[in-house]
Amino acid sequence: MKACILTTAHSPFDERIFHKEGKSLAEAGYDVVIVAPYERSELKEGIRIEAVTPLSSRMDRIWRIKDIYRAALQEKADIYHFHDPDLIPVALWLSRKHHKPVVYDVHEYYGDSLLTRYWLPRPFRKFVAKNVDRVEKWAARSFAGIITVNSHMAELFRRENSEGEILHNYPLKKQFDFPRPENVKPPVILYLGGINRERGLEVILRAMSTVREKYPEAVCELVGPAETTDLGPEFSDLTPWLEQGNVRLRGKVPYELVPEILAKSSIALVPLLPTLNYQKAIPVKLLEYMAAGLPVVGSRFGYIEEIIAKNQCGLLTEPGDPESLSRDICALLENPERALNYGQNGWDAFQREYTWEKEQGKLLRLYERILAAR
C-alpha cells in the first residue's frame, strides 16, 4: 500500500510529518512518499521525498497548489494525507474527482490563528478567519478521515465527519534516550521553536535583562526561527536587548540536534501569550522539555497550566509579564534541588503518558479502517 503525504507549509523533514507519521507508516510496511516544496527529490530512511519548486514567498503556497496536485496524481497512491488548509482544493479534487481516500491532519485552529497574523490587514482578519473556518469544516465532510491534536478540536470536526483520531503530537521516546540531569548545570535558559511577539519574544528579552542583574553568567538560547516584524517599536534594534540579556538567536537547527541542545540546558520556557489559538493548543516544546528532564517556566493558561500543574514539573508565570517570568527563572536558579525535582517529575510524566510511541497505533488503525472500507 502506498501512502502519499502532502504539505506546502512544512519541510518534508518536519518532526510530525517525517519523523513521526512518515516513519511509523514506513515501519508498518507502507510505501511512503512526501510531496512538498524542497530543493531536490531524494530517498531518506526508506521514505521518498518528491520535491516541487521551493517557495519564495508566502503567496507561493497558493501558486504551488497545481504542482502539488500533479505530483500527487502521478503517485497513484492508495491513500492521501495532507497537512495544510491551503491544500483543501487539492484534497477535494483527489477525493471527489479521483475517488481517493484522503485524510486531513489538522495541526492548529487555523481560523483563530489568522486573527493575530501581522501580514494580514487588520480590517480583513475576522472575515478571512471566519470563512477559512467555514470552508475547512465544510470540506471535512468529503474526506475519509480527520486527524486532530486534542479532544476539543476533535469535537468540532466530529460534527462534520465522524471518522478520525486524536493524534497528540507527543515527542519520540527514543529521541530522548539520554541520562537525566543529576546536578546543577550552568544557567542556560532555553526557548525551543519558532518565536515572535505572541510566543513571548518581547517578554523573554525584557525578563532576561532583569535575570542577568542577579545572575550575570546566565545565557538564554532561542533555538528556532525568529520573527521580529510584529515587535513593538522599542525592539526595532534588537542588538542592545540581546547583549543586555545575553540572549543568543540560534535560528533553526536540524531536528537531530534538538536532544543535545536540551541536554545542555538548565531551565526551559513556554511564555506564550493567551491568543485564541494558544489557549487551546498543547505546545510540543513543553513535552520535549519534560522528556529531557528540564524544569519548565510556562504561562498560566490553557493546556500549559494544566500539564505543568498536574505533573508538578515547573512554575507558572503570568502571561505577558516579564517581571513574573524573570522572578520564576531566578527562583529555579536559586533553588537547584527544587529545579531538579521539577525536571524529574516532568520526565516521569513523559515516560508514563506523553510519548509518540503510545500514539502511533491510532494512526495505523485509522489507515486500516479507511482502506478496509474501500
DSSP 42-92: EEETTEEEEEEPPPSSTTHHHHTHHHHHHHHHHHT-SEEEE--GGGHHHHH
Beta pairing class for 79-82 and 102-105: parallel
Q: What is the pTM (predicted TM-score) of this model?
A: 0.83
Per-residue pLDDT at 132: 76
Per-residue pLDDT at 368: 98
The set of long-range contacts for 51-57, using a CB threshold of 8 Å and a minimum separation of 24, is 51/12, 55/8
Least Cα distance to 166 among 142, 150, 187 occurs for 150
Q: Do residue 206 and residue 299 come from a single domain?
A: yes
Q: Do residue 219 and residue 341 come from a single domain?
A: yes
Q: Which residue has the cell 520526565?
A: 347
14 grid coordinates = 518536519
Query: Residues 6 or more apart from 262 whose CB is under 8 A from it?
Result: 176, 190, 192, 268, 288, 289, 291, 292, 294
Cβ–Cβ < 8 Å for 81, 102: yes
Distance separating alpha carbons of residues 135 and 73, to the nearest angstrom = 23
Tens of pLDDT, residues 234-257: 999 999 999 999 999 999 888 788
Q: Do residue 143 and residue 114 come from a single domain?
A: yes
Cβ–Cβ < 8 Å for 17, 7: yes
The Cα-based distances of 145 to 30, 80, 165, 234 in angstroms read 18, 10, 8, 47
Task: Say how many residues make up the chain.
Answer: 374
Per-residue pLDDT at 215: 95
Per-residue pLDDT at 256: 81
348, containing H or E segment? helix 336-353
Per-residue pLDDT at 319: 97
224 grid coordinates = 528556532
Q: Do residue 160 and residue 190 come from a single domain?
A: no
314 grid coordinates = 515547573
Distance separating alpha carbons of residues 155 and 141, to the nearest angstrom = 14
Q: Do residue 72 and residue 219 come from a single domain?
A: no
Give the full edge-to-edge strand order of the sheet including 42-44: 42-44, 47-52, 31-37, 2-6, 79-82, 102-105, 145-148, 164-166
**CATH code for the domain in which residue 281 is found:** 3.40.50.2000
Measured in degrees and rounded to the nearest 5, phi and psi for residue 194 equal -60, 140
Q: Do residue 148 and residue 13 come from a single domain?
A: yes
Domain that holds residue 231: 173-353
194 grid coordinates = 519558532
* DSSP-derived secondary structure letter, 193: S
Distance separating alpha carbons of residues 225 and 195, to the nearest angstrom = 6
Per-residue pLDDT at 344: 94
Cβ–Cβ < 8 Å for 37, 66: no
Distance separating alpha carbons of residues 283 and 290, to the nearest angstrom = 12
Tens of pLDDT, residues 45-80: 999 999 998 876 666 667 778 999 999 999 999 999
Q: Do residue 240 and residue 256 come from a single domain?
A: yes
Q: Which residues of the chain have pLDDT under 50?
A: none
Q: Do residue 275 and residue 306 come from a single domain?
A: yes
Other C-beta atoms closer than 10 Å to the C-beta of 368 total: 12
Distance separating alpha carbons of residues 310 and 184, to the nearest angstrom = 24
Per-residue pLDDT at 322: 98
Q: Do residue 342 and residue 316 come from a single domain?
A: yes
Q: What is the number of domains present in the chain?
A: 2
Q: Do residue 63 and residue 29 come from a single domain?
A: yes
Q: Do residue 105 and residue 142 come from a single domain?
A: yes
Q: Do residue 186 and residue 96 come from a single domain?
A: no
Other C-beta atoms closer than 10 Å to the C-beta of 283 total: 21
Measured in degrees and rounded to the nearest 5, phi and psi for residue 28 equal -85, 0
Query: Residues 6 or more apart from 278 whose CB is under 8 A from it?
Result: 198, 272, 301, 302
